Amino acid sequence: MNRIGFIGLGTMGMPMAGNLLKAGYDVTVYNRTREKSAQLAEQGAQVAETPAEAVRNSDVVWTMLTADAAVHEVIFGDNGVATAARRGLIVIDSSTVSPTTSKDLAERLEELGVDFLDAPVAGSKPQATAGVLTFMVGGPKATFDACQPLFSVMGKNAYYMGENGAGSYTKLANNTMGAINLLAMTESLMMAVKSGIDPELFLQVVAGGGARSGMAENRGPKVLRRDFQANFASRLMLKDLGLAQRLAADLNMPVPVLSVVKEMLQTTVSQGYGDEDACAVVKCYEGWLKVTAQGHSQT
Catalytic positions are 171
Question: Tell me, what DSSP letter sits at residue 291?
Answer: -
Phi, psi of 48 (to 5 degrees): -95, 150
d(CA 141, CA 164): 10
- Say if residues 175 and 262 touch (Cβ distance below 8 Å): no
d(CA 243, CA 270): 19
Amino acid at 237: M
d(CA 196, CA 202): 11
d(CA 39, CA 89): 26
Amino acid at 77: G
> Residue 157: helix, strand or coil by DSSP?
strand
Question: Tell me, what DSSP letter sits at residue 282?
Answer: H
Q: How many helices (H) and strands (E) does the chain have?
A: 15, 9
- Say if residues 84 and 61 touch (Cβ distance below 8 Å): no
Beta strands 115-118 and 121-122 are unpaired
Phi, psi of 201 (to 5 degrees): -65, -35
Residue 79: count other Cβ atoms within 10 Å of its Cβ.
16
